[in-house]
Structure 1
């Protein structure tokens, strides 16, 4: 495939869990993929580029987008998957935790999305998917997580705002809002408790989120959507 016509996806938080599975999925669709995370190993293949770095750092975002365009010539999709989740009582949060969540969940989104949108506008369109959390819509006293809701809630609002701002300019913007997903970030002993948060009585799987992103990728009349993949959490208890 001509490298200038092959679609290109950029995925943050790409080294493990949902991010690593999204890299695999997009490569399976025939996309060239650019993955970034702090722990990802540098790589440059015909259809894959790995750029290590802290997404909270604006320099990382610039490097990812610059190298993606230099290698593949375009950016068709950006999946803002990188995120930090800290559940603890509000008064127990530390200044370092506040800075970390603001830096990754909001700063990481802002820096790379701004550069990606500039590229998408230049080439005539693109698609952005943000990964949020259903706790934004369904606060739970068993999972106190104000800073996660503050940052991911901002991301959810930004999804709709960007979707409307660029609706006539070829850029779609959507979000996937997961419940608790079985990933390496959750210790084994916490899984039964997390399963009980969902009306369906179980946690979600990584594949559920990949399927949701895939749906949005191919749903060309959908923009500004917050797609809840949460076992009924956002519907009620």
Structure 2
């Protein structure tokens, strides 16, 4: 997608960083977003292509951060064409042990951040009048939970992202703005650095966990698929469909 500008939240490491790298490889401009300014600066330096990279540090749960991401895209590259809502958190914890503070944190980072950042981007896309593409990141656990992986707080926040995707696909179609979602299964990423991620391979029909690059491929497809909107693309190795024996 040469010449377009993509805003990628949560892009200082893992899936978000790989998505940003892939857009750059396609000669797109990229605005990186993340909470930690130092990590974000290191990520930007590692990507190279300084003429096509901007970065904005801030709390994704704040409307000001979404507005700053859009402002950076406009000031550096003249507008915004794609938003990838990748920022968020996810960790298991039994339902009755989740604190109100933890629940609020997931709702703010995963759902409110996606909602507010999308608002800022959609306002700009409407001003530009050329449509656009929004790709959200959800989770297959919204559709198929795992008894041994209790994660009600992050899953309920991601469930809101799934619902938002469907609602906005309908509301924004008249503006030429497409809204889709990638729903990953277990992916080998920094999110699972503290556990033996390969132990979860049996959850999928393909009997392995996914790689970051496989999520990136799905994001790039949806970002450019001009006749696809309101779709949740599972990248889960068949986790929802069945089980490997």
Q: TM-score range by the shorter chain?
A: over 0.9
Q: Distance in 1 between matches of 2:65 and 2:221?
A: 29
1:22 to 19, 31, 51: 19
Alignment deviations for residues 193-222 of structure 1 (CA, whole Å, 9 cap, x no partner): 322222221100001001101111221100
* 1:89 is the counterpart of 2:74: no
2:197 paired with 1:191: yes
- Deviations, residues 171-213 of structure 1 (Å, cap 9, x unaligned): 0000000001000121364223322222221100001001101
1:82-161 mapped onto 2 (5 Å cutoff): 82-124=87-129, 125-161=131-167
Q: 1:13 aligns with which of 5, 10, 34?
A: 10
Structure 2 Cα separation of the partners of residues 55 and 211 of structure 1:
24
* 8 Å Cα contact 2:204-2:242 kept in structure 1: no
Task: Kindly tell me the number of residue pairs found equivalent between the two proteins.
Answer: 233
TM-score (norm 2): 0.91
Describe the SS at the equivalent of 2:206. Answer: coil
Quote how far apart the aligned CAs of 1:79 are.
0.1
Structure 2 gaps of 5+ residues are none
Q: Secondary structure of 1:79's partner?
A: strand
Q: Which runs of 5+ in 1 are unaligned?
A: none
Give the whole-Å Cα distance in 1 for the aligned partners of 2:107 and 2:22.
29
Q: 2-side partners of 1:192 and 1:14: how far apart?
A: 24
**Per residue, is there more helix in 1 or in 2?**
2
Q: Which residue of structure 2 lines up, in the alignment, with residue 50 of structure 1? A: 55
1:208 alignment partner in structure 2: 214
Q: Secondary structure at the match of 1:201?
A: coil
Q: Single out whichever of 11-20 and 87-96 deviates more from structure 2.
A: 87-96
Matched, 1:66 2:71: yes
Q: If the length of structure 1 is used for normalisation, what is the TM-score? A: 0.94
Mapped partners of 1:143, 1:168: distance in 2: 40
Q: Find the aligned partners of 1:75 and 1:181 in 2 and give their Cα distance.
A: 28
Distance 1:21 1:94 in 2: 32
Q: Structure 1 stretches (4+) deviating beyond 2 angstroms?
A: 42-45, 187-190
SS of the aligned residue for 2:196 comes to: helix
What are the Cα deviations for residues 3-32 of structure 1, in whole angstroms up to 9, with x where unaligned? Answer: xx9310000000000000011000111111
8 Å Cα contact 2:133-2:224 kept in structure 1: no
**Cα distance in 1 between the residues matched to 2:225 and 2:62:** 32
Q: String of CA shifts for 1:82-127, please: whole Å, max 9, x gaps.
A: 1110211100111221121011101110111001001111112100
The equivalent of 1:41 in structure 2 is 41
Q: For the aligned residues, what is the CA RMSD?
A: 1.6
